[in-house]
Structures are given as structure tokens and as C-alpha cells.
Structure 1
Amino acid sequence: MIYDSKQLKTLSVLFEKYLCECQYSKGLRPRTLAGYSEVFGTFQKIVPEVITTEDLSPQVMTVFFKRISTRERIVGRDTIRIGVKPSTIKTYHNKLIAFFKWLEENNHIENKSLTEKIITPPEPIYNDERALTKEDISKIIASIALNTTHNEFLYKRDMLIISLLIYTGVRKTELLSLKVQDVDFNQRSLFIDGKTSKSKKSRSIPLHITVIMHLKNYLAQRKARGTTTDALIISSKRDKGFSEHGLKNWIQKYRRLSGVKFHLHQMRHSFACSLARSGADITTIMKALGHTTMRMTERYLRSISSENSRDYIDKLSY
């Protein structure tokens, strides 16, 4: 496609080039690319008057953040909400700044200090309890046991899924990408391929005895079914790996049956907090989660309050 000189300065055209570089040069995952596209799409919708690079300025970003912080939007069927969460503001800022810095580095804008002049929003303060309680997890496990009695395969597969989530802290993409050969019973470990991980780094997670038990039961059931696919978690109807859509239905099913309004990523938070409460140091937790910085790990541990130090304080002796 051939663009004229005016089109070459159009943000939408440049953003396509930016995404292409992110995909083929930086090797970013499709989900990450989709996140960038979603944020840029929101930016275009909120400030439609910004069309070319010449329209960009620090003031434009102020206008953008003011508008998304005060606009009304409909959530669900008829719930009206105003603005967005501080964490969403921070996400918008980070993704747009990455694009603007690319514009600067590739000489697409004359203002080389644009990103330096854009005000950085404050770090969001998290007060919510992200980790699930033991009671919540018990309810989910009980709902699996009670509602799969008619299907032995479903029981063993779904018990494996929940045990992998709470005892290894794997991400959704990592869970769906697991292969049978990633399980090492001799080393009692689970291999996470960096190609399927957000951090792009491979890691091995030690397996809890409970996970090993469910793995052996499930693999025996797989064998009895004559399964040929190498995907570890498989569909109940076809000889193929469990899909993202299938996992979404899985979550909705057990949210309804257990009465616990959970989402998959909360299992990861629960895993991290359980390790911390068991005395694991933050470096160990960081490695298990596959994080590259302790700062990210600390966000996962925000469910742990000062009250959790009581048992350790009671054991102090000088």
C-alpha cells in the first residue's frame, strides 16, 4: 500500500507499522498486541480530533485522561458507571507512551521531548482482596466433586485443572499450552515453555503431592479414552486441547455451582499468598510465578495484611 506524505503522519497508519514491529521484531504475543490495539482504539474514540502526529501534545493526553475519567458508560445491561479505575488509567498511559516513544525514536514527530512532558499518573493504590480464601477454594472443589459424579473423566480433568491453578500459579495461556511431556514425575516438576509465558522465560515449577496424584489419575483416564493429542488438558468431547472458550465456560460453570464469584487470575494470587504465608521469601515466589521484577510480585501479595504477621511475631524470641 502506498501512502502520500500526509497519510504517513496519520497516527493510525503509524500505529500499524508500530504493531508490525512489535510482532515481528520484538516477538510480542498476540494477546499483548491486542491490548495495545484496544488502548489505541480507545484513544482514537475519546480524542477523535487527534489525527496526525502534528496533533500530539502533552495537553492532548491531559484531555484524554480527563474525558475517560468523567465519561459515562453502560456496563452489562443497564448499569451506568462513570470513569475508569486508576489501574486502567495507568495501563492506558503505559501503552500509549510506548507508542509515542517509538514515534520519537523513528523521527515521526518533531517534538522529541513529547513523552518527557506528559504527566505520569500516580501508581494505583490496591485495597481489594485479590486472593481467594480457603473457604472459597473449598467451595469450588466441592462443586467439582458434586457435579461430575456422572462423568469420571470430567471429575479427574476438572480436579487437575483446579489443582494446577492453586498449586502452581500458572497463567491461563500457560495452562492451555501445557503438553503431556511437560510433566516430569521423576523430578516432580512442571515445565513452562517461555514461548507460552508472558515473561518469555521458561521455568520449572515443583509439583505438590496433590497435583501429582491428580495428574496420575487424569493421565490414566486419558489413556483409557485412547487420547492421541499431546495437549495436557483436553476437551471432554474431542481429541484436542482445551480451548480458551472452553476454559471460559469452565469458569462460568463453577462460579454458578460454587456461588464463588472468582476469575482465573485470582488462583494465581492465591498461590502467591499461600507461599508467602508458608514462609517463602519473595525471590522464591517471584521465580515460581515467572515474574521478572519483585515489584510485580509485591502486587500479587497485597492480600496479605499486617494481621498475618501475628503467628510469626508470637514466635519471636530474643
Structure 2
Amino acid sequence: AQLASQGLSPRSLGRKLSAWRGFFDFLAEQEIVAHNPARQIKAPKMPSRLPKALPADDSQRLLDFPQEGPTAARDVAMMELLYSSGLRLSELIQLDCAYHPQALGWYDAAQAQVHVLGKGSKRRVMPVGGKAVKAIDAWLKQRDEWLQKQPGGDQNALFLGTRGQRISARSVQHRLASLGLATGLASRLHPHVLRHSFASDMLQSSGDLRAVQELLGHASIASTQIYTSLDFQRLTAVYDQAHPRAARRST
């Protein structure tokens, strides 16, 4: 209680309690103390970590940022698809260009959909937005040129690395982090931020929690409900800026 009154966070308190428990466990093993008094202290409840999502304007700024270089078409297609369909990074990199019996996930150009295999081997079908479709079309044309230069390249994978093999998760993370720095939006921008942004924007626009749950592939509605906290934070920010009596909230 004394440490909490000094302003230590629940996470810091939890670390200290863990250290004391380990220390007294050692003393008990050495028979210096009869029992571990720290075991009787309840660990502080950890607050739920809210997912980090970009405001809608920042998402558009990120996706509209002009990219250059040999991987630009691929990178634009990946970012557009991550945000358009709310994919996990693992779902993105497993996508193939079309269905085949061994495909874990694939892009259906005719239907503008992606079929993905999510957590728990749960399969779902996601729509692909118009801008993402255009970006993928542009990338597919360049992808053919890449494969011509890399005869041993992966003929199935939708997104390729510069050596013609299926792109790695680390490469996608690196490209998005670089883009975050270039746009000035974030120093460490992770692909999952685009999934969170997709979820938050969809929930804010539709208000349909169940639909967003299905789109994200969450097994439990509780996993999706956390995004309502993000929307409440935004509403609170609007209130603080707009309401003439809102100044009382900070006093």
C-alpha cells in the first residue's frame, strides 16, 4: 500500500512482489525463515492494455504516403491489405495468389476476397477494399517480373522477398517501421497497429460489435470489446476539447 501511494504502477508493484517472493523462497529453502510471508500478499490487478490504433486521419496519411524504390508496389499492396481486411501479420504472409489444395490462405481476385487461416486453425473470408485491390493488381504485374529474374522463386506466394521467396514476417515489420519513420507517425510502427486501426475504425463507423468480432476472427466477444474502450477514449477527447465546462475534468 505504501509503494502504491508513492505512485508505482501495478506492473512495477507486481515485479517487486515477485522479487520478494523469490527472495523469501530462497530464505525458506535455507531454513532461515519458517515460511514465505510474501506469498500471503495478493498481486495487484494489472490494467488491461488497450491496443494501439492510429486515428483514421493518420491511417490515411500512412497509406497515401508516396513510396519509391523497387519494393514500393509490394509494400503499398501489403499495407493496404493489412488495413483493408484487418489481417494478422501471420495471415498476410501465408497468402498465395490463388487457391490450390496446399494453400493455407489465398487471394481471390475475382471475388475481391482473401481466405485466411487464423488462430486456432479458424478459417474466415475477408472482403478486400477497392484501393487494396488496385494496389494488389499493380504488385502482381511487378511480381511476375521478379519471378522472371528469380527462376527458383516461390510461384504461389502472393508477397515475395527480394530473392523471390515468400516474404518473412521480419521483412514486413521492417518495411512498416521504415514507413512509420518516413511519415513521422511513429518510431516503432508494427503491422498489428493496422489491424487495430481497422477494428477501431470499423467499430466507430458501424457500431456493430458482433460484425467486427467476425471480421477479426475473435473466438470471444471479450477480445473485441476492448476496442469500445478506444472509442470511448476518442469521445472523451472530443468532449474535453469541445465542451465549455470540460476544464473541470483536469482539476
Q: TM-score range by the shorter chain?
A: 0.5 to 0.7
Give the superposition deviation at 1:49. Answer: 7.1
Within 5 Å, give how 1:145-160 maps onto structure 2: 145=66, 147-148=67-68, 150-151=69-70, 154-160=71-77
Which residue of 152, 159, 165 corresponds with 1:233?
Answer: 159
Contact kept, 8 Å, 1:272 with 1:301, in 2: the verdict is no
Q: Distance in 2 between matches of 1:46 and 1:63?
A: 9
Q: Residue deviations 1:208-233, cap 9 Å, x none?
A: 11111111111111112226412211
Counterpart amino acid of residue 176 in structure 1: I
Contact kept, 8 Å, 2:91 with 2:116, in 1: the verdict is yes
Unaligned runs of 5+ in 1: 1-42, 66-120, 311-318
Give the superposition deviation at 1:292. Answer: 0.4
- Alignment of 1:186 with 2:102, yes or no, is no
Q: Distance in 2 between matches of 1:61 and 1:219?
A: 59
Q: Distance in 1 between matches of 2:124 and 2:195?
A: 16
Give the structure 2 partner of residue 201 of structure 1: 122
Q: Distance in 2 between matches of 1:123 and 1:131?
A: 21
Which residue of 22, 46, 55 corresponds with 1:133?
Answer: 55
Contact kept, 8 Å, 1:199 with 1:291, in 2: the verdict is no
- Alignment of 1:220 with 2:141, yes or no, is yes
Q: Distance in 2 between matches of 1:179 and 1:58?
A: 56
Relative to structure 1, the CA distance from residue 289 to residue 129 in structure 2 (aligned partners, 3 Å threshold; closer, same or farther) is: closer
Relative to structure 1, the CA distance from residue 164 to residue 50 in structure 2 (aligned partners, 3 Å threshold; closer, same or farther) is: farther
Q: Distance in 2 between matches of 1:132 and 1:232?
A: 26
Q: Distance in 1 between matches of 2:83 and 2:231?
A: 16
Q: Distance in 2 between matches of 1:158 and 1:46?
A: 48
Q: Distance in 2 between matches of 1:159 and 1:166?
A: 11
SS at structure 2 position matched to 1:278: helix
Q: How many residues align?
A: 198
Which residue of 203, 210, 235 corresponds with 1:307?
Answer: 235
Give the superposition deviation at 1:201. Answer: 0.5
Counterpart amino acid of residue 123 in structure 2: S
Q: Distance in 2 between matches of 1:188 and 1:45?
A: 56
Counterpart amino acid of residue 47 in structure 2: P
Relative to structure 1, the CA distance from residue 48 to residue 233 in structure 2 (aligned partners, 3 Å threshold; closer, same or farther) is: farther
Give the superposition deviation at 1:281. Answer: 1.3
Q: Residue deviations 1:58-104, cap 9 Å, x none?
A: 97666795xxxxxxxxxxxxxxxxxxxxxxxxxxxxxxxxxxxxxxx
Within 5 Å, give how 1:97-112 maps onto structure 2: none
Which structure would you say has the larger RCO, counting Cα contacts within 8 Å and 6 or more residues apart? 2
Unaligned runs of 5+ in 2: 1-17, 30-34, 99-105, 239-251
Q: Distance in 2 between matches of 1:223 and 1:205?
A: 25
SS at structure 1 position matched to 2:126: strand
Within 5 Å, give how 1:1-318 maps onto structure 2: 47=22, 65=43, 122=45, 124-125=47-48, 130-143=52-65, 145=66, 147-148=67-68, 150-151=69-70, 154-181=71-98, 182-193=106-117, 197-226=118-147, 228-229=153-154, 230-235=156-161, 237-261=162-186, 262-279=189-206, 281-305=208-232, 307=235
The normalised TM-score by structure 2 is 0.67
Q: Distance in 2 between matches of 1:141 and 1:45?
A: 48
Contact kept, 8 Å, 2:82 with 2:195, in 1: the verdict is yes
The normalised TM-score by structure 1 is 0.54
Relative to structure 1, the CA distance from residue 249 to residue 287 in structure 2 (aligned partners, 3 Å threshold; closer, same or farther) is: same
Give the superposition deviation at 1:124. Answer: 1.8
